[in-house]
Each structure stands twice: as C-alpha cells, then as structure tokens.
Amino acid sequence: MEVASFEKLLLPVRPALLRDAVQSERRTGSDLITPENMLQMTISWLAGSSYHTTRGLGGVSRSGIYDVIHVVMDALCACEELYIRSPTESRARMQELADDFASISKDNILTGCVGCLDGWLCEIRAPSTEEVPDVSAFFSGHYQMYGLNVQAICDSLCRFTGYCFDSPGKVGDSIAFKKWKLSDEILALPAGFYCVADNAYPLSNSLLVPHNKLEIKSKKHSDFNFYLSQLRIRIEMAFGLRVNKWQIFKRALVVDFKNVGR
C-alpha cells in the first residue's frame, strides 16, 4: 500500500484508535501503541502475514495483536466514510454506473448495466456445534471445504458496490441471491437498467444471464453471450483482485465464527 493511500485510510479511523497513554502504560507496562502502528499491523495481517510475524514487527504481545486487530476492524466497519455505495441508491447513481459499463462494452452495445453479480466461497475453519446448529450446512460439496457463500456486485472498475454473506457454503448462488436484501431492489430496477450474472441466477428483465449451450441456436445468441461476458468478467476480476491483495483469503479464516463477517 502506498503511503498516500495509508494516510487517507488512517484519517477517518484515527479518532477511534486513539488510546490514553497513562492508562495503557499502567495496564500493559509498555509504551502506547500508536494508531499508525495499529493500522499497519492490521493491514499486514490482512495482506497475509501471520499473527506471530505481525506482532513481532509491531512490537506487541500475543494478546496485544488480537486486541489491536479487533479494535481496528471495528473502527473500519463503523466508519461511514468507508461505506460502499449501493448501485440502486438513486437514478443518478444507476445512470453513472450504466455509462461506465457502456464505455467498456464493445461499440457500446450493452447500455443500462448497473452491476455484475456473482458468488464466491469464503473458506473458513469448520465451525463447532456450539457456534452453528448445522455444521454440515457450511460444507461445500463442490469445493470440498467449509465456507460462506458470499454474494457480491461490482462496478465497471471492479469496485464492490454491494455484498451479502448470510448463506452457508452448501447453499447455491440462486438461493443465496434471494436471501440478499439487495436482490429485491435489483429485480425491481427501472426499465432500461439491469444487472448481469451467470447461469446460476434467475433470468428476468432486470437480471441478464448468458444462453446455455442448448439455447445457442444462431449467431445472435453467441454474440449476446460475447457482449455479456465482456461485462460479467468484471466481478470475477474483482474477486481475484481482492484475494490477491488481501491474501488472508487464500487460506481458511481462522477466527471466531461470530467475527467471520467482519
């Protein structure tokens, strides 16, 4: 992360990371951990560094690194300036997104797209029976791992504009999509606006999916799939970029189940 980006991220969350120096020294017997150090350690951990390496570089104890990560993650989640903007928040917002997607569609063929949808399995450690009523519901037979079905939507620049992680890994994308609050707004988009997704999602006037192999009867069908894929690939790129940058997602999340959503 560049220095300018780090400072931009630190600015809105810094007040929530400030601690009383005297109380901190009395409680821990060591110097106060600065907001800069707290954010740096959390980013390092999210980028794939281990707890032990991160705390060693940050100069904090084993219990201290856990406290720091929880505090920083809470501050980031509570910061309104970092909230993502829904693609359906206003007609002006939808038109802005549609214009951006049209600019990457060959010859501006597809106009009116406000987002690309897809699901992603976030691998987690196997939850215990004390954490969830049905452990098997979180096991994905397709990927052979435990996880959460994460539904997400992105814009033309692969920036996420919505997400939902309310479904266990065993649930398919079509069902997970229906459990997402944003799905009702997507299915009720004004005429002329729509989202794109793959065949796992239900086709509607406001949710376009490609033709399957049996449905391709002519060149116009294959052409439609081509133009749709130009836009739909953005959500796959978004997931790839996110996992590559925040490499904590390259392995199972080893955190308390209640904190997985953070």
* Model confidence pLDDT, tens digit, residues 43-71: 999 999 988 888 888 888 888 888 999 99
* Other Cβ atoms within 10 Å of 201 Cβ, number: 24
Handedness of CA 131, 240, 106, 160 (dihedral sign): positive
| Confidence at 239, pLDDT banded by 50, 70, 90 | very high
pLDDT for residue 261 is more than 80: no
Express as a percent the part of the chain with pLDDT over 90. 75
Interstrand relation of 145-154 and 160-168 (parallel, antiparallel or unpaired)? antiparallel
Give the Cα separation of 153 and 180 in Å (integer): 11
Over residues 93-149, the pLDDT tens digits come to 999 999 999 999 998 899 999 999 999 999 999 998 988 899 999 999 999 999 999
259 vs 240: which has the higher pLDDT = 240
User: Does 29 have pLDDT greater than 60?
Assistant: no
Q: What is the pLDDT of residue 55?
A: 85
Please say if the pLDDT value at position 254 is more than 90: no
Q: What is the mean pLDDT of residues 185-208?
A: 95
Q: The pTM is what? A: 0.88
Q: Tens digits of per-residue pLDDT, 95-109?
A: 999 999 999 999 889
Distances (CA, A) of 19 to 14, 37, 129: 10, 12, 37
Quickly state the pLDDT bin for 26 (edges 50, 70, 90). low
Average pLDDT over all residues of the chain: 91
What's the whole-number mean pLDDT along residues 232-252?
A: 95
Q: What percent of the chain has pLDDT over 70?
A: 94
End-to-end Cα spacing for the chain: 21
Segment 189-205 shows an average pLDDT of 95
Average pLDDT over residues 32-51: 92
- How much is the pLDDT for 31? 67
Model pLDDT, residue 33: 87
Banded model confidence at residue 260, pLDDT cuts 50, 70, 90: low
CA gap 120, 41 in Å, rounded: 27
